[in-house]
Structure 1
């Protein structure tokens, strides 16, 4: 189990130069935009416009704060995403543009390399006591708008936007929310090698 503090995240420009993204975690460690297996980040979207294109990448997007966006993904009807929406998965190499509904937003962006990884993003209310059973190779737990305390012997606390990383085989996680918010549970698995 590892705890990543929000203060230590890396801020970098978007691939298309249209804004900045805050990288929470990437695998392998230190990988760049062209060679990661998976990447979890948050982006501040200040204006409507096109998304960066990522060849061979599948993405899942969630709105963390702000009124939301409408995504125009080529070949699909427009998708309206707000803080109440379920996470939306789409191909990162399909032309996509976003229109802000009412001012800037912050989004959570999960990207995986197609054919190498699979992933799932679960959005849960953060309130009371929560149990999480990490079944994936890597599970990330991110709290938004409130923190939580791990119900373990040393009872560490995580603040808003801090991240917990768990490996497969970790025991069931019990946590106590420190207020009302959202919890995102991101499951990442490597596909078996093709022979």
Structure 2
């Protein structure tokens, strides 16, 4: 079971210097986040001032506000109000900029190379009674609340074997089809799926 601890990730400046981002995962892992050599990337960005977004030619983006109330995103001249927990998809090569009418925001970004991968973000409420599995090709990020994760049971095993690990805010659980980890608790997680096209 793999957990990516948000507290261990060093913030990196945006390409255009307008903010900072923390990369949770990318593929291939050897590719530098700054040179755009990856085929997909999942990151969390802090947006503290209005301005232009970095362009990612040949990529498609899904952005979700995960802290703060509202960001006004202008994409190719058209304005889109982005509210908390409502994913929005747009072209990475579009001219895009943001204003912050209600103050700073933090957003979750899924960027994938068009024609090779497709990224999806779903916001899921978790419960203690029904653990939420995280499958191969998925990443689950704790957005708010209190949660723990158990390694899933292999075939023939009793469920809920192994040691539960507590999750902190923005920690990410890497999915698996062998022993799919299961998240339980109270709160919300973002389930990110990266599918090969």
TM-score normalised to the size of structure 2? 0.85
Q: Distance in 2 between matches of 1:12 and 1:130?
A: 36
Runs of 4+ in 1 over 3 A off after TM superposition: 126-135, 170-174
**Per-residue deviation at 1:108?**
0.6
Task: Give the alignment of 1:98-177 within 5 angstroms.
Answer: 98-134=98-134, 137-151=136-150, 152=160, 153-167=162-176, 169-171=177-179, 173-177=181-185
Unpaired runs of 5+ residues, structure 2, are 151-159
**Per-residue deviation at 1:172?**
5.1
Q: CA RMSD in A?
A: 1.9
Question: Do the aligned residues in 1 keep the contact of 2:144 with 2:189 (CA within 8 Å)?
Answer: no
**Per-residue deviation at 1:144?**
1.2
Q: Distance in 1 between matches of 2:123 and 2:51?
A: 26
Q: Distance in 2 between matches of 1:41 and 1:7?
A: 13
SS at match of 1:103: coil
Task: Give the alignment of 1:1-195 within 5 angstroms.
Answer: 1-32=1-32, 33-74=35-76, 76=78, 78-83=79-84, 85-134=85-134, 137-151=136-150, 152=160, 153-167=162-176, 169-171=177-179, 173-177=181-185, 179=186, 181-191=187-197
Q: Distance in 2 between matches of 1:64 and 1:170?
A: 30
**Per-residue deviation at 1:171?**
4.5
TM-score normalised to the size of structure 1? 0.86
SS at match of 2:7: helix
Q: Distance in 1 between matches of 2:129 and 2:17?
A: 41
